[in-house]
Amino acid sequence: MDYNYLMEKAIEVSKNAYAPYSKFPVGACILTDTDNIYCGCNFENASYGLTICAERNAIGSAVANGDRIVKAIAIYSPNQDNCTPCGACRQVLYEFSNKNLGLDVIVKIGEDLKIYKLSELLPEGFSL
C-alpha cells in the first residue's frame, strides 16, 4: 500500500473535522490487515471529555465493519507538522495492532512523510 494515498485520505477527511473549541482539525486514515481503508476525523463536544479523536473514530469504523487489526495509520492536521497520536489513541492503536508485526504511524513533515513504529511512540503498551 502506498502510504501517500493514506495521507491524501487523511488530509481530505481532516476537512470534515468538527473542532470549534480547539480549532485543531485532525484526519486519520487506517489500513487494516484485510487491506481495507477507514477514515475518521476528530469531533469535539462542549464537555471536552466527550471529544473523539480522529484515530479512534477511524478505528471505530473498522471495528464496526468487522476489521480488528490495523497495519498502518496516517494522521494529519493542517495546524501541525509531525502530528502524532495522543496517549489515549496510542493505547487504542496498540490494542488493535498485530503485536508481532507492529503498526506504522505515518505523519507529514513539510512535504515529506515520516514513518514511526507504534512501539517507538508507545514502548511497553498495556495488554492483558
Mean pLDDT, to the nearest integer, of 11-22?
98
Give the pLDDT confidence score for residue 91 in this predicted structure: 97
Residue 112 β-bridge partners: 109
Residue 89 to residue 27: CA distance in whole angstroms: 13
pLDDT digits (tens, 9 = 90+) for 109-127: 999 999 999 999 999 899 8
Catalytic residue positions, numbered: 55
Say how far apart CA 102 and CA 96 lie, in whole Å: 10
Look at residue 128 in the predicted model and tell me its pLDDT: 84
Give domain limits for the chain. 3-121
Instruction: Note the CATH number of domain 3-121.
Output: 3.40.140.10
Short-list 66, 75, 70, 77, CA closest to 24:
77
Mind listing the pLDDT tens digit for each residue in 56-109?
999 999 999 999 999 999 999 999 999 999 999 999 999 999 988 999 999 999
The model carries a pTM of: 0.96
